[in-house]
Structure 1
Amino acid sequence: MAKEAKTDTELEAMIGERIAVGGVFVSVRKDALLGWRATVITAPKSATYAQQLADQVAAELRKKFTLKD
């Protein structure tokens, strides 16, 4: 089964909806090892928690989606 290609904006929105933490912005970039990686931008107090959630969601989404060039 082939993976569906999504833009960085689409993946960012999908991850943002799934983690549902206020004041968190998600950025998706190419990654040589994983294909693509999500990084959160938020206040330092919640950065670790939000990044862990984003990493978990991204791991699930990488099974279904690739990043469009």
Structure 2
Amino acid sequence: MATEQDAVQKEAKTDSELEDMILQRLLIGGVFVSVRRDPILGWRPTVVTAPKHTRNAQELADKIAADLRKKFTLKE
């Protein structure tokens, strides 16, 4: 049975590094993502601009961030 002590240490990344990782996975041109600290989740992406035809860019960014949060924390 795993305990908290057995938990894998997450790698700290800068906001710019996390933004780039999200953008690479979004595969949508013309999108700008900003990563900010979040008191509950640790960090959260916000899609600042996106092409008009991309209505679900924020939803996709949130799903990608949920996956990335398993491995990475936001550097102080």
Fold shared by both chains (TM-score > 0.5): yes
2:10 is the alignment partner of 1:3: yes
Partner of 2:40: 33
| TM-score normalised by length of structure 1 | 0.92
Runs of 4+ deviating beyond 6 Å:
none
CA drift of 1:47 comes to 5.8
Number of residue pairs matched?
69
Q: Structure 2: where are the runs of 5+ without partners?
A: 1-7
CA drift of 1:16 comes to 0.3
Aligned with residue 61 of structure 1, among 58, 64, 68: 68
Identity fraction in percent: 67
Higher-RCO chain (CA-CA 8 Å, sequence separation at least 6): 1
Larger proportion of helix: 1
State which structure, 1 or 2, has the greater radius of gyration over its C-alpha atoms. 2
